[in-house]
Amino acid sequence: GIQVEQSPPDLILQEGANSTLRCNFSDSVNNLQWFHQNPWGQLINLFYIPSGTKQNGRLSATTVATERYSLLYISSSQTTDSGVYFCAVELANRDDKIIFGKGTRLHILP
């Protein structure tokens, strides 16, 4: 089946630093989402980005579907950015199944 791999698995940064999280997928997909899971477990939608680039404040994302990867950029990190970041893809065979990567755990130090 399709593989969704996220890197790095863990990342510790000082407040104010920038970071890039990567999501590679092994097959054609219809869409891709990035989520942030906060310390209380809530999964928050960051981007719905099947292709191209989007920006929302200090966060931006780029998906290059033809090369099967997506990047999430976080600039000027804040402690509230801590948590786990997931990417999730919907398979191109349209069976409505959404597959998650294992996540990147980000810890921002004050």
Partner 1 sequence: SQTIHQWPATLVQPVGSPLSLECTVEGTSNPNLYWYRQAAGRGLQLLFYSVGIGQISSEVPQNLSASRPQDRQFILSSKKLLLSDSGFYLCAWSNRVGEQYFGPGTRLTVT
Q: Which of 7, 19, 37, 62 binds partner 1 (CB under 8 A)?
A: 37
5 binds partner 1 (CB under 8 A): no
Name the region of 41 (left: φ>0; alpha: ψ -120 to 50; beta: rest): left
96 binds partner 1 (CB under 8 A): yes
User: CA 39 to CA 53: how far, in whole Å?
Assistant: 27
Residue closer to partner 1 by CB (options 7, 75) is 7
- The greatest distance separating any two alpha carbons of the chain, rounded to the nearest whole angstrom, comes to 44
- Contact window for partner 1 (CB under 8 A) among 13-21, 37-45, 52-60, 65-73: 37-45
CA torsion sign for 55, 89, 70, 62 is negative
CA 34 to chain centre: 4
Residue closer to partner 1 by CB (options 77, 85) is 85
H or E element at residue 37: strand 29-37
105 binds partner 1 (CB under 8 A): yes
- Shortest Cβ 7–partner 1 spacing (Å): 14
Residues that bind partner 1 (CB under 8 A): 30-31, 33, 35, 37, 41-43, 45, 48, 84, 86, 88, 90, 96-100, 102-103, 105
